[in-house]
A = this chain, B = another copy of it.
Amino acid sequence: MEIRYPNGQVYTPDSETEKKKNRKKPVALDRFAKRGMGLEDDINRSNEYYNSAGRCLVYKRPTPIRVVRMQKEKIVEAYFSEKSTTDYNGIYRGKYVDFEAKETVSRTSFAFKNIRPQQITHLKRVIELGGIAFFIIRFKSLNETYLLDCRDFLPYLESAERKSMPYEECRKKGVLIEEGLSPRLRYLDAVDRKYFGK
């Protein structure tokens, strides 16, 4: 079966997606979530690793689905809807953590257009309540992923003239996240460095 993106482009599954298909898995969901697939997939696998090692407990919030019609136990009409919160939340070292993951192909800046106002409101409230709030931003073309604390990020986001945060600022303010096999993305090490002085 040929799968297409909403824009009509043909989707070529990698071997991982292939495996999932064979399990009769929710292929369509993967297709929908494709936008941020590379990074999201890395984070999800890292969380599986971290969670099962007992180091943290962080889960992805499922994309909300608006159910319109059912036939007995079967949903026959439903639509994906937008999250008013962020992608991930959980607990690490006794603290509440909450973050959003985004990737960009740009080499020079991270554009804000994909961040929704409700997400910003949400992250601000996390900070007010004493939680840890950050973004994980991947510059795909540079093969670099940064943890960026919300407090470092917000001044750029809220400056009326700006529509993006320059790469150089992300590099300076953020913590580079090391990549490996298990976990793929050692983002908790970056959290340690940024928030726990380790």
The chain A residues found within 8 Å of chain B, CB to CB, are 3-8, 11, 16, 23-24, 26-29, 31-32, 51, 54, 56-57, 59, 61-62, 64-70, 73-80, 85, 89-96, 98, 112-113, 115, 117-118, 120-122, 125-126, 128-131, 157-158, 160, 163
Q: Is the CB of B94 within 8 A of A131?
A: yes
Q: Is the CB of B131 within 8 A of A91?
A: yes
CB contact between A6 and one of B5, B23, B73, B85 (< 8 Å): that residue: B73
Q: Is the CB of B125 within 8 A of A57?
A: yes
Residues of B within 8 A of A31 (CB): 70
Q: Is the CB of B70 within 8 A of A28?
A: yes
Q: Is the CB of A54 within 8 A of B128?
A: yes
Q: Is the CB of B75 within 8 A of A80?
A: yes
Q: Is the CB of B65 within 8 A of A65?
A: yes
CB contact between A91 and one of B5, B16, B129, B160 (< 8 Å): that residue: B129
Q: Is the CB of A65 within 8 A of B62?
A: yes
